[in-house]
Amino acid sequence: MLPDYLMSVVVLLSAAYIPAFLALVWIRWGERGRKERWDDLILTFLGGAVIAVIAATVLEVAAAGILNSSLVREYDLFVRYPNLITFIIIIVIAPIIEEFVKTMIVMRFSRYIWRPRNGLVFGASCGLGFAATENFLYEGTALFTSGFAAFVSLAVVRSISSLLMHASATSISGYGVARAKSYADHWWPYLVAAIVMHSTFNMFASFGELFESRFGPVANGIGLGFSIGLVLVAISYLRWRIHGYHA
């Protein structure tokens, strides 16, 4: 038998990374024509899970320091300190930083891209890796500070919402990287679109904190419903594009 702390780590790793990998299989499944190689996708996934998370954390910590805010990541920051500065961090700064570093990872692996559709899949892979590590950190905090029930609840919600948001947002910028490689197109407008989507999701996710005093506890349900609805529409469109793309 594993010690309790090792069992907790195994549970956390499974809850964070298995849903992300299954989502990648689901996105790639049914793709027409020549498919991306698994070793290339896994490298991109790991780039998002490790390099992008580290880079984003460093930059977000630096931004929080410049704004005289506390060293707490995104949603926890706004829950603890619901003010204009923390709102700017999660609605503006965090989406810009995170989508930029993820796009740089996709660009790093762009040698594996041979057509625009690849950018959608590689972008989703990078986003899923990033989301898996982010979920591991958030869910670990929930497990060790609030107990198993809080961990399960958060794991279920983030496996649907945040996981699919990162996949679909970075697939947009990944598509821009692929078009830049294939057609010498500009990639930055697609990055802007990814940032807007990420920012919109964060705004919906923060709805409860923003309007709980006005609408009561139902505000959290409204925000969660809108954020999940947004990512379900986005991921459905992404998968439709990938599966129907002939080029």
Judge whether 21 lies within some domain: no
Provide the domain limits for residue 222. Answer: 31-244
Q: Is there a contact between 169 and 235 (Cβ–Cβ < 8 Å)?
A: no
227: which residues sit within 8 A by CB, 6+ positions away? 161, 165, 201, 204, 205, 207
Look at the chain and report how many structural domains it folds into. 1
Judge whether 218 lies within some domain: yes
Judge whether 2 lies within some domain: no
Judge whether 26 lies within some domain: no
Judge whether 24 lies within some domain: no
> Cα–Cα distance between 61 and 82 in angstroms, integer?
17
Query: For the whole prediction, is pTM greater than 0.95?
Result: no
Structure tokens, 93:
């700064």
In single-letter form, the type of residue at position 156 comes to: V
| pLDDT tens digits in sequence order for the chain, 247 residues long | 557 778 899 999 999 999 999 999 999 987 777 889 999 999 999 999 999 999 999 998 887 776 655 545 555 555 555 667 777 888 899 999 999 999 999 999 888 898 888 999 999 999 999 999 999 999 998 999 899 999 999 999 999 999 999 999 999 999 999 999 999 889 999 999 999 999 999 988 877 666 666 666 777 788 888 889 999 999 998 888 888 755 4
